[in-house]
Structure 1
Amino acid sequence: MSQALPFPVTPSEFIPPGSRFHALTSPFPMKRGGVLHGARVAYETWGTLNATRDNAVLIVTGLSPDAHAASSAADPAPGWWEPMLGPGRPIDSGRWFVVCVNSLGSCKGSTGAASIDPASGRPYRLAFPELSIEDIADAAAEVVRGLGIERLACVIGNSMGGMTALSLLLRHPGISRSHINISGSARALPFSIAVRSLQREAIRLDPNWNNGEYDDATYPESGMRIARKLGVITYRSALEWDGRFGRVRLDESSPFNGQGGEEDPFGLEFQVESYLEGHARRFVRRYDPNCYLYLSRSMDWFDLADHSGGDVLAGLARIRVERALAIGANTDILFPVQQQEEIAEGLALGGARAEFVGMDSPQGHDAFLVDYDRFGPAVRGFLDSL
């Protein structure tokens, strides 16, 4: 670590050097039972909060990102949403005071299964309470209040963060004037649940997972590699896979060429396999498997209809914001664009001026992370009009 941190850090936690920390209410109650003592949430900020404290924008993230959405003086390394956030960019830190929180349950600075349990002095592992999207939303709300912000100008949520944002708006009425939901949803659909179930199974069936009791020497690498590959397959579209890789085979310069040898006649052969392998290797050992399991399951459990007698549109209609924008990619199979259309429809029923935009991006669910020519102007236009 490049900084002194005010709490114990385990080898399974990966905290950006620019992170700041908010201590949650202790005990912090969890939706499905249990409490956390001495819990924290990591966050970063950009820009300046104005005198009236009404120019704050909150970003809540997908499953794996940390709070480092963009470079800053505290951490000049590029962030995961670098082209979207900063002076003059679509989320203009010259106008907005931007806060990005790392989800409760993560291993990127916020308390999760990899953190030290103060009751035992050891990592929580599977002793961590059952985690819900609602818990993540409540923790984010505490960060906002802790910064002295009574009402946000906008809350932006992408992917899992779209779920978190909707939960935040429902559970904390009046916390934001507006909302941008990017490739998010009001509930998990069967296809997404099925994929995440397989990802969790791959981790749990790795012998090294050992019911959550692994360490650096016995990290469940195979399970995490397969889980990551399954995820990456669903993050992009079949159109992009075909256009980008076709049926091109590995050449001799590839680090994965012939890696199986005679002892593994079914080793990597195509460039698309090499791409997946590279993604997986960059992810494993940079994310805690137990945290992955907890956050993945929290998405499957989420359904805004639970708050409205089984009707998701009625649940969305209970949210009160002045304006809303729901954006998605028409090629997204993980959070299909119909779900963003549903969000706009439901928020409009609640009185919001809500707009839906379906982007003709070939890049599937990950489009908001790479197709800035399409997503950037939409976000900029909405924020500039506030």
Structure 2
Amino acid sequence: MNRSHEPIVTAIGPFIFSMILTLPKKTMNTLAKTFASASKNSVFYTKNSQISFPCLDKLEQRENKLKTEKQTSEELFLNFVNGYNIFNYNKPFVLSHGGILPSFKIAFETWGTLNADKSNAILIHTGLSASSHAKSHPKNTNPGWWEKFIGPGLSIDTNKYFVICTNVLGGCYGSTGPSSFNPNTGKRYASNFPIINIYDFVRAQFLLLSDLGIDRLHASVGASMGGMQSLAAAKLFPDRVNRFISISACALSHPYSISLRYCQRQVLLSDPNFNRGNYYDGVIPHVGMKLARQISTITYRSGPEWELRFGRNRSNPNSEPSFCPDYLVETYLDHKSERFCFEYDANSLLYISKAMDMFDVSASNFKYLEKKRQKALTLIQDRAIDDSHNNNMKSGYFDIDATSDGAEAPAFEAEYRESINSQKHMQDDLVAGLESVTMPALIIGVQTDILFPSSQQKEMAKILKLSGNKSVTYYELDSLYGHDTFLIDLVNVGAAIKGHLDHS
């Protein structure tokens, strides 16, 4: 059929058109021209209007504004988080994967009073993007991220305990991270920052505790990535932790959560403004950060909660459907991610989320990392880090293999890979890795958590018991709030924390 016949089909329908097809060709062409001309002003022909994209307009406006702004201060987010203390460690700090920081600083905040024998200290570990501001105080009266859990008479009672919270190494809220200036170069580390892991966070925190004169914690407490740190603290420093609490965490990261964090990093890397991490003198990768946060927000809450909270309701039921935020759940995701892209550093998100992926307290993994770390420590001791050696450290990363024969490195890798060939071996490996963790432990899981399913907390509790720990308590909560339950459920989470901390 000739395309000129199409208006006829539209105007009079396929039945009549089948009859017209029997007409002579000359008559057919005449009819086609007649209907084509008539259809220009016909109700049968309408011109579709261009769909509007206000969300894209907003991104473009932001891009233009950001091009005129430049942040030269090392503290990128002082307008968001302030009033913290700084612990400076002015010696080289060797990291688990062989990297070296020439020095570092840790932002921390405290509440309550340290008693005479310094035995009432509680260390609170944060999640991925949290700051040290867990609770308001005179230097920063804004509510903290765990505001209702910490304070006089609350779950973590500041009448009894001296509470400490830090911003993790690699973060951007006062602690040394990729946005910090490398003292050896005078430039920001950016993607020259060395790879870090959960053990590195904890070792840095315990250097702070030593500086404060705290030899032993009453408790180590954390949820999500903080729960990983709390378990790692108990493993690394069993003689310095009386008890620990791990909420919605794991003994090693599982493929599902790794894949979710991988997707977040990929959308961030795909932002043209990311520039391989070197964006501090240009436009921040705000689009990638916004999309990454939308992915993570979906993993933090639960489907049942959103059914009750949003359902299928639209923000404006009388409007035409839109590809921009339309349903209430979409406007929620847009709002949460809009704030985040200005409140957190993209490189910190990369490094810290990767540290979560690599978390694994198994004996073989710890042995593998310790060989790398000890080799770097030995090289530092042997070479005394003179000026020529500093040239090898200017990037902030000290390549072990480049400064030694490197013969053992492949053996480390082969030994580690061979050790995780089977699920049974993996469990035995984890049990061996936690043999030193014998202090009272509270493990909490949430049934609706999709990021760290409760099966992973059950696994942790089981492994602790198999490793010989006689004081493991496991609670599983039936909460609507998914992974974020530890931030919201004051009654159940708070009561469990208080009971464990106050138990003699």
Q: Which TM-score applies when normalising by structure 1? A: 0.92
Q: Which residue number in structure 1 is paired with residue 198 of structure 2?
A: 133
Does the aligned pair in 2 maintain the 1:176–1:321 contact within 8 Å? Answer: no
One of 85, 97, 121 as aligned partner of 1:20:
85
Q: CA deviation at 1:112?
A: 0.3
Distance 2:210 2:343 in 1: 31
CA distances 1:260-311 after superposition (whole Å, capped 9, x unpaired): x9xxx52221000000000001111110001110001011111112237553
* Structure 1: 5+ residue stretches without partners: 1-7
Is 1:358 paired with 2:423?
no
Q: Which has the higher strand share?
A: 1
Is 1:343 paired with 2:493?
no
Does the aligned pair in 2 maintain the 1:324–1:352 contact within 8 Å? Answer: no
SS at match of 2:239: coil
Moved more, 158-167 or 273-282: 158-167
SS at match of 2:117: coil
Q: CA deviation at 1:68?
A: 0.6
Largest Rg, 1 or 2: 2
Distance 2:484 2:107 in 1: 24
Q: Which residue number in structure 2 is paired with residue 73 of structure 1?
A: 138
Alignment of 1:208-247 (within 5 A): 208-215=273-280, 217-247=282-312
SS at match of 1:375: helix
SS at match of 2:324: coil
Q: CA deviation at 1:352?
A: 4.0
Q: CA deviation at 1:213?
A: 1.3
Q: Which amino acid aligns with 2:494?
A: G
Is 1:10 paired with 2:80?
no
Q: Which residue number in structure 2 is paired with residue 324 of structure 1?
A: 441
Q: Which residue number in structure 1 is paired with residue 383 of structure 2?
A: none
Distance 2:104 2:142 in 1: 27
Q: Which amino acid aligns with 2:431?
A: A
Q: Which residue number in structure 2 is paired with residue 113 of structure 1?
A: 178
Is 1:165 paired with 2:282?
no
Moved more, 341-350 or 104-113: 341-350
Q: Which residue number in structure 2 is paired with residue 3 of structure 1?
A: none
Q: Which residue number in structure 1 is paired with residue 246 of structure 2?
A: 181
Distance 1:129 1:211 in 2: 14
Does the aligned pair in 1 maintain the 2:97–2:196 contact within 8 Å? Answer: yes
Moved more, 240-249 or 22-31: 22-31
Does the aligned pair in 2 maintain the 1:174–1:321 contact within 8 Å? Answer: no
Q: CA deviation at 1:175?
A: 1.4
* Structure 2: 5+ residue stretches without partners: 1-71, 368-418, 421-425
Q: Which residue number in structure 2 is paired with residue 82 of structure 1?
A: 147
Q: Which residue number in structure 1 is paired with residue 263 of structure 2?
A: 198
Q: CA deviation at 1:25?
A: 5.2
Does the aligned pair in 1 maintain the 2:222–2:230 contact within 8 Å? Answer: yes
Q: Which residue number in structure 2 is paired with residue 4 of structure 1?
A: none
Does the aligned pair in 2 maintain the 1:307–1:315 contact within 8 Å? Answer: no
Q: Which residue number in structure 1 is paired with residue 451 of structure 2?
A: 334
Q: Which amino acid aligns with 1:278?
A: H
Q: Which residue number in structure 1 is paired with residue 492 of structure 2?
A: 374
SS at match of 1:105: coil
Q: Which residue number in structure 1 is paired with residue 353 of structure 2?
A: 296
Query: What's the Cα RMSD here?
Result: 1.9
CA distances 1:289-336 after superposition (whole Å, capped 9, x unpaired): 011100010111111122375535414532334211001211101011
Q: CA deviation at 1:164?
A: 1.4
SS at match of 1:207: coil
Runs (4+) of structure 1 exceeding 6 A deviation are none
Does the aligned pair in 1 maintain the 2:316–2:326 contact within 8 Å? Answer: no
